[in-house]
Chain A
Amino acid sequence: MIQLFHVTKIYQDSDAPALSDVSLSVEKSEFVFLTGPSGAGKTTLLRLLYGADVCTRGQILMAGRNLQNASRDVVTQVRRDVGVVFQDFKLIATRTVFDNVGLALEVRGLRRVEVETRVKAVLNEVGLIHRAHAMPRRLSGGEQQRVALARALVSNPRILICDEPTGNLDHALSLEVMGILEKAAMRGAAVVCATHDEGLLRQHKHRVLALDRGRLVSDRRGAFDRAADLVSG
């Protein structure tokens, strides 16, 4: 579902690469944690995956589409296969919860009835149907994160990319969000979840990719003790 071949990203204002020669692949239904210290290149990698940036060298295939030198239309198509969850939620302040979630379907040109049915279903799933007509500023951090999650899930994406989705949440809410992400993986989505949270890595036995100074330094499956151990190899 996701394939990276020798991907390097060097930003214009920097000499050191943000990502250096990273190759990996993530299959359908696979749940992958992406970890590493701050500045390791996690966010850069995620930005490359949803087409917000272009890699300097290498190739990225997302659901069979090559993102290198892709036209704007191709990037748009790729984004319709990808759901993205940000740590800062990125909700539109002037839209209700319902409209924020529905936006992901609206851009695909779905009929109003279908949008309504699917938005209600996903809001039910994340436990926010009772807040459907609330504005984002009226919600708690946990609720806003679940709205962002609902927006990413509502289109049944083939790939789900999450940048520190539990970063602003307490433990109980983090577990809830993880449960929703794991369900998405079980339904067939490839999930890439960047996190610093060692507790999450310990509790959820998934494949873990560790980045350090732009390099992929570890690719392990299952249990481990400390994320720091992964980074050290």
Chain B
Amino acid sequence: MRRLLERTVRGVRHTPGLFVTTTAAVAVSLVLAGAFALASLHLREWTASLVGTETLVAYLRPEVDEPKAAEVARALSALPRVAKVELESPRAAAERLKLVLGAKDDAVLGAALTWSAVVSAKVPGELPDLAAAVQKVAGVDEVDFGAAVYERLQAIERVAVGFGIALLILVLSVCAFVVNIAVSLALFVRREEIAVQRIVGASDGFVLLPLLVENAISGLAGGLLALFVLYSLFSSFVSRYAGAIVALGVSPPRFFDGALATSLVLAGAAIACAGALVASLRHLRQAE
């Protein structure tokens, strides 16, 4: 182990510029990938917040009275995707509207209103399917879940996620390419040393291991650097737009938890190791 580390350090000292290049390539790509991951984590939550989270309103038919409304509520509760059902009488609805709209003639308002049920979905994002199921329940007249806004936000979310994934693939491919080039250059610089190692009986593992360790360290360093940059950017974003976030009424933004942060750093090591492995195996095959 000590000798492996010695050989690794010797390798880094031999080609420090390439070590820095690999670290920087990993860091840049992980900053972009991390920013995308953070954005998509929040996009879904904020989309749900903006359209009234996971609830819809089922307006019952005008002929439905209180006992029948209770029956409808039981039928709605029995639906598989439903978490909770709350009934609202025409009088309660009129009182609420009166407060909101400042209407004075609550008798007219009350006569125009029907029993309604506020239905909460178990999983956000299933509202369109849930609305279709609710619509089929006997006694339900009309279902409102802000379909137009919801669908528009969903479409935006789909486009954003698709674009993000394409960007992510592009960024990671460029990163793998840069790492591959850096490792190939390192191998080229060390080609005579590797040739001598092979002649004196070094196995592939003996030649490869220090390179992999070197690149794993480089990838970890890139991952930690990316995490630091992302956190700095995130903090600056949160402090700059705190007011706007509160005004929108969406949940406050969160940074990666421990597991996600660790995954990001390990992903850096994995990318760098994979690039090193591919370049090294190709070099060893060509060298023989």
Instruction: Mark A residues whose CB is within 8 Å of B.
Output: 50, 52, 72-73, 76-77, 79-80, 82, 84, 90-92, 94-95, 103-104, 106-108, 112, 151, 155
Point out which of B10, B192, B201 has the most chain A C-beta atoms below 10 A from its C-beta: B201
The answer to whether the Cβ of B247 comes within 8 Å of any Cβ in the partner chain is no
Does the CB pair A79–B200 fall under 8 Å?
yes
Does the CB pair A107–B193 fall under 8 Å?
no
Nearest residue, chain A, Cβ from B14: A94
Contacting residues, chain A, for B288 (C-beta < 8 A): 72
Contacting residues, chain A, for B199 (C-beta < 8 A): 50, 52, 79, 84, 90
Contacting residues, chain A, for B196 (C-beta < 8 A): 90-92, 103
Chain B interface residue number, banded: 10 to 19
Does the CB pair A94–B202 fall under 8 Å?
no
Nearest residue, chain A, Cβ from B200: A104
Does the CB pair A80–B201 fall under 8 Å?
yes
Flag B1-14 by CB within 8 Å of A: 1 or 0 each: 01100000010001
Contacting residues, chain B, for A72 (C-beta < 8 A): 204, 288
The answer to whether the Cβ of B239 comes within 8 Å of any Cβ in the partner chain is no
Does the CB pair A90–B192 fall under 8 Å?
yes
What are some 25 contacts across the A-B interface (CB < 8 A)?
A: A52-B199, A76-B198, A76-B201, A76-B203, A76-B204, A79-B200, A82-B201, A84-B199, A84-B200, A90-B192, A90-B195, A90-B196, A90-B199, A92-B192, A92-B196, A94-B10, A94-B14, A94-B193, A95-B10, A103-B196, A103-B197, A103-B200, A106-B3, A107-B202, A155-B201
- Lowest 10 CB-CB distances: which A-B pairs, in order? A80-B201, A79-B201, A107-B202, A104-B200, A92-B193, A107-B201, A76-B203, A90-B196, A107-B206, A84-B199
Instruction: Mark B residues whose CB is within 8 Å of A.
Output: 2-3, 10, 14, 192-193, 195-204, 206, 288
Main secondary structure on chain B at its contact with chain A? helix
A77 and B206 alpha carbons, distance in the complex (Å): 13
A103 and B10 alpha carbons, distance in the complex (Å): 14
Contacting residues, chain A, for B2 (C-beta < 8 A): 112
Does the CB pair A104–B10 fall under 8 Å?
no
Contacting residues, chain B, for A79 (C-beta < 8 A): 198-201
* Distance of A182 from chain B, by nearest CB (Å): 22
A79 and B14 alpha carbons, distance in the complex (Å): 26
* Distance of B75 from chain A, by nearest CB (Å): 71
A178 and B202 alpha carbons, distance in the complex (Å): 27
Contacting residues, chain A, for B193 (C-beta < 8 A): 92, 94
A107 and B10 alpha carbons, distance in the complex (Å): 16
Contacting residues, chain B, for A106 (C-beta < 8 A): 3
Contacting residues, chain B, for A80 (C-beta < 8 A): 201
A46 and B199 alpha carbons, distance in the complex (Å): 12
Q: Pick the contact of A107: B14, B192, B197 (CB < 8 A).
A: B197
Contacting residues, chain B, for A155 (C-beta < 8 A): 200-201
A33 and B3 alpha carbons, distance in the complex (Å): 38
Contacting residues, chain A, for B195 (C-beta < 8 A): 90
A104 and B195 alpha carbons, distance in the complex (Å): 13
Contacting residues, chain B, for A90 (C-beta < 8 A): 192, 195-196, 199
Q: Pick the contact of B200: A52, A95, A107, A112 (CB < 8 A).
A: A107
Contacting residues, chain A, for B198 (C-beta < 8 A): 76, 79
Contacting residues, chain B, for A104 (C-beta < 8 A): 200-201
A84 and B195 alpha carbons, distance in the complex (Å): 12
Does the CB pair B3–A112 fall under 8 Å?
yes
* Distance of B100 from chain A, by nearest CB (Å): 79
Nearest residue, chain A, Cβ from B7: A106
Contacting residues, chain A, for B14 (C-beta < 8 A): 94
Contacting residues, chain B, for A73 (C-beta < 8 A): 203
Nearest residue, chain A, Cβ from B198: A79
Contacting residues, chain A, for B204 (C-beta < 8 A): 72, 76
A108 and B200 alpha carbons, distance in the complex (Å): 9
Point out which of A73, A80, A92 has the most chain B C-beta atoms below 10 A from its C-beta: A92
Contacting residues, chain B, for A76 (C-beta < 8 A): 198, 201-204
* Distance of A45 from chain B, by nearest CB (Å): 16
Contacting residues, chain B, for A52 (C-beta < 8 A): 199
Does the CB pair A107–B3 fall under 8 Å?
no
* Distance of B170 from chain A, by nearest CB (Å): 36
Contacting residues, chain A, for B202 (C-beta < 8 A): 76, 107
